[in-house]
Structure 1
């Protein structure tokens, strides 16, 4: 085959890809439907010119088109991994987890039901063996990701509807291809009636093996990419290799599902990539994959459509009856799942409710495409499959694919419109009217300033101002009619906007380098949780997640228990350092929220909502600062190191911004600019590692380091060490309650506590003590003491404390200072204490 003709043909396909998108917009048809129609027309035209005697000039082109090496493995090994991987990178996984039950039901159960429904329906009306009928059922049971994703993203469908059907199309390929492989084996060895239990037993192994392979491949790939993170092109190149190696490794080495391996690899990279890779590298990686998936999705449809005339050759009138049987059986099976099983699961509270209009759209949106044609092509290529089976598989799969693309795909937009799914909810419509009014008011002010600045023609200004003013009046009137929005809904919408702004600020700070990439994943996860909680639970949901974001979780408490019982400190060190940096990052972001509330939310939702959001933000800031105070008291030196790190990062970003501004103004040349920015990059790389945190506690050394025991000799220290008891308390644990009598004095070895008495609050940190006042003063006001950080205490009973106080001037001075801080006369505490002789 002439390389020139091949190159020209491929280049022409890209021209068709470029033309198809504006053509689909003009024709108001889905992009994939236009691509399929163009592919069919090209194949028919090539066959016509090759057979006609009108001209021979186009014969070489026609021969090249018809001789393109389109094989099933090209679709499965070249195009499918690209489409699956890109789709998983672009998914909002946390939102999709809200609907994981209906997604899995559609992706797994629906595939089995559709396979059985189509298989047994065909076996009743045809002479094909049951194994061949079930093989056809497996081929047509999978929805195509390239068809579904592109169509649902191009129409005004609700995001939840799009997420459900996109999640289904990504995962059901694994089930369908697994069943296809099983029944294909039965057909090739001539087993007419296969045992269905074998398929059910093999399926979990295929899924688990593929998921493990994909996760492992992604972790290794991510480790390599993070090692080369300063080389952006290297990072992107490794990401391109990742899905193909995961697919081939799962299929050829493990014997598991390559589709699930690719999906697992994409999900892993989606979750961990933003925190391990530089922000700009991650953005560029996503853009490259978007472009690759656009090309792959378009090429897969054009090339698959080129096969349609070939697969339909030899069709007989009776075959169209069988195509109708396949269509009816497949749609009926899907309807049973959507209108039978899903409502039952919702009634049993095993699944979130999927509304009837959504289920109707999902039923009609189950499009087939290149994957179905690729599996059918694999059957026709096999020399071990009977000829009649190959003929019917090609015809039935192709006919069913054409029906879903042409009948369902071309009417899906109309169906969604008829169901009312393309319209905003009443609250969103009212909000849209208010947003338009606020935006137009701002625009009018900006336009007025522009006309004054440029001294524009007054007649033109008056004409345009009149037109604009009329539009603004209409918008304001429409907004005034939106007063039926409840305050509760306004608060919810304001919180959603606030959480979205918080997420954007986090991404901006990560791009600027102020927040480290390693911390980005954690705080972005918290921001996403806030956003989802505001959407689902409104004000209470937002506050619940905000409290949880600064609380000590189960993992932290487990790390504390491991450290306390077994002396293994590595998990606690890492989690404590992460918590320190996360709280500092949250404090940095929360300071910016008040400006957004005043500048944006107040103008749309009013003063009352803005004031409420200010109060909620203030409470969040207070919770974060409380957590930070506890850690600062516990590890003062480490807090200073982290804060210096933040300041350095901010200063480097400002310095880099100045160099960029000077370069744009022409004050410095490219060579100087490159040298200066490389120097900043070098400093950032050197300071990339977080300072180390030492939480190890050696008992006797710890006692020696207490300033309170500084004047004790070695013998007294050893005796005191034996008398002291260690006690570890978790954050928010109550150490002393007001109603309890004080029986011990507590010395803070590490951590921080909050002491509350008579309406006053004090915070104490490492090296300080509490409990001495209640012991030394009769009828003293009782206090409640609560830990505000993981805290290690040295506990001394009353008798030993009094004996120690009698012989330690340092301890007496400490008691005197603590009394003065709390407004108590020190002499009342020390009136019966012996003063030790001066050394």
Structure 2
């Protein structure tokens, strides 16, 4: 394809993304599953040129911004508190699944070398960050479970990619050293943390120096790719570097980034992440045609690979259940023996945890990088696609139903300060600052209306903290009137503009003020206003 055809295909894919996503929302289906299936069907349209997902480009284009954005919005306190559990999933579960898949593959196909079997396990073992994001953002989970799954999705790709590289090297060379592999993995991990910390700190410095908000938002986008490429260039984990940079930058952004930049940046990132996630799934679907063609056609794939693929998929699901319930049983044993820090999930949360093993772009991308000379390449690529298709559609599609049936309980202790109490503390801090500056040098009150407004706000938040439910019931009508007033103001503003009485600049400025006021009211009403 020439450049114009490529651009036309990209436009077609974006149009398909909008249509499939809208249809999925209308039918209350997981959008990721609709995009995956839709992409697979589009790939077989007669006359449409084949679209292949370049594996190296996929990793460097899609993975860094999605990982960075996930780390940026990660609750760092919970991430740090649950880090042992996250490592257990991101390293332990991935290693265990790799071994299980390798053993099952060797039993099914004894002619394959062990190194190839372990390469199969490394391809299929890590649940995907993109798939996890697409599914988890549509369900409500207990805080601990959410922290564990978010943290796992950020770190497990590094484990899977590292295992894959060692397995492929062993398959091609015929040699393998466990000691060297462990040492290399440690260097990749901690080197990635160091590189990510440096890139994150450089991003914080750039925000302090830059004044233009568009430049700052652009810099945040560049940080994700910069961290990943820097890590790969220095031969450490680019995935870990990206995650570390996102955590560092997300921790400091509350202090260094102006509010207007956060609002603009949230909108830009939300749009970029939506487009990237959607394109990932539809491109994965599109890759089905090329995979089947390479494997000899649909009849050969169905006839010769169905049995092994189904057995390997069953092994993937079973391995996660065994690991999750096994480690949870071990924690229960430690708790009975008096180990206070042992906190098992319990059967309900463990069931949800075991079922959330969706695969995605990393699984397919590393499968597509397999050298042509490696034995079993076609089977590995077909199995990789099947794993994505089954886990996203079956596990992802039923996760919400399973959560409603199981009803996992939040076992985390309640926060020391509740939301109403925190809001009251903020209101009183604002009042104290205003009282200190509301009088001139002679002691004359110069801002009486502002002071009274803040005092009223402080009294209202005190009542809210004392009785949240009763207070919100009484104030909803107040917010409703404010929203009606804002709508009337916006209608009048548009009328003035349509009649040519005000310029576009005035329209945009006053409309922005009304928008910010409306968003503030929606937040106070407790509605979900996702500015990401």
Report the equivalent of 1:359: 350
Correspondence for 1:792: none
**Alignment gaps of 5+ in structure 1:** 50-58, 426-488, 516-588, 607-662, 675-839
Contact 2:52–2:286 at 8 Å: present in 1 too?
Answer: no
Q: Which residue of 2 aligns with 1:280?
A: 260
Q: Given the two structures, how large is their TM-score scaled by the length of structure 1? A: 0.50
Whether the aligned pair in 2 keeps the contact of 1:89 and 1:266 (CA below 8 Å) is yes
Task: Rate the CA distance shift 1:668–1:389 in 2: closer, same or farther, 3 A.
Answer: closer
Task: Give matches, 1:223-622, under 5 Å.
Answer: 223-228=205-210, 230-252=211-233, 254-312=234-292, 313-314=295-296, 315=301, 317-345=303-331, 347=335, 348-379=339-370, 382-383=371-372, 385-386=373-374, 388-421=375-408, 496-502=418-424, 593-598=458-463, 601-602=466-467, 604=469
- With over 3 angstroms needed to count, the CA separation of the structure-2 counterparts of 1:18 and 1:240, relative to structure 1, is same
What is the rounded CA distance, in whole Å, between the counterparts of 1:500 and 1:181 in structure 2? Answer: 48
User: Are the aligned partners of 1:86 and 1:290 in contact in 2 as well (CA < 8 Å)?
Assistant: no
**Matched residue count:** 451
Give a deviation string over 1:392-441, Cα, whole Å, max 9, x none: 211222222222122222222222222124xx99xxxxxxxxxxxxxxxx
Cα distance, 1:278 vs structure 2: 1.3
| DSSP-derived class of the 1:354 partner | coil
Structure with the larger RCO, 1 or 2 (CA within 8 Å, 6+ apart): 2
Distance 2:467 2:392 in 1: 47
Q: Following TM superposition, by how much is the alpha carbon of 1:375 offset from its aligned partner in structure 2, in angstroms?
A: 0.7
Q: 1:103 to 1:603 in 2, by over 3 A?
A: closer
1:99 maps to 82
**RMSD in angstroms over aligned alpha carbons?**
3.4
Q: Which deviations, in whole Å up to 9, do the C-alpha atoms of 1:259-294 show, x marking residues without a partner?
A: 000000000010011211212112322321121111
CA deviation after TM superposition for structure 1 residue 591, in Å = 9.8
Report the CA distance between 1:602 and its aligned residue.
3.4
Structure-2 change in CA distance of 1:43 and 1:268 (3 Å) = same
User: Structure 1 220/317 Cα, relative in aligned 2: closer, same or farther at 3 Å?
Assistant: same
Structure 1 residue 27: Cα displacement = 2.8
| SS, match of residue 353 in structure 1 | coil
The partner residue of 2:158 within 171, 174, 190 is 174
**1:122 alignment partner in structure 2:** 105
Gaps of 5+ in 2: 438-453, 472-492, 509-532
- The superposition leaves residues 359-414 of structure 1 with CA deviations (integer Å, 9 ceiling, x where unpaired) of 111111110011101110111xx24x33x421121122222222212222222222
1-side partners of 2:214 and 2:62: how far apart?
22
* Farther-moved stretch of structure 1 (21-30 vs 119-128): 21-30
User: Partner of 1:153 in structure 2?
Assistant: 137
Residue 686 of structure 1 is matched in structure 2 by none
Larger radius of gyration: 1
Aligned to 1:154, the other structure's residue is in SS state coil
The alpha-carbon deviation at position 22 of structure 1 amounts to 2.6
What is the distance in 2 between the residues matched to 1:287 and 1:205? 37
Counterparts of 2:232 and 2:141 in 1: how far apart (Å)? 35
TM-score by length of 2: 0.77
Matched residue SS, 2:8:
helix
**Structure with more of its chain in strand, by fraction:** 1
8 A contact 2:52–2:287 mirrored in 1: no
Residue 214 (structure 1) aligns with: 196
> 1:188 offset after TM fit, Å?
2.5
Q: Distance in 2 between matches of 1:283 and 1:135?
A: 44
Whether 1:164 and 2:161 are equivalent positions in the alignment is no
2:112 partner SS:
coil
What residue number does 2:24 align with? 24
CA contact (8 A) 2:139 2:400 kept: yes
1:5 lines up with 2:5 in the alignment: yes
The secondary structure found in structure 2 opposite 1:143 is coil
Q: 1:505 to 1:359 in 2, by over 3 A?
A: farther
8 A contact 1:304–1:374 mirrored in 2: no
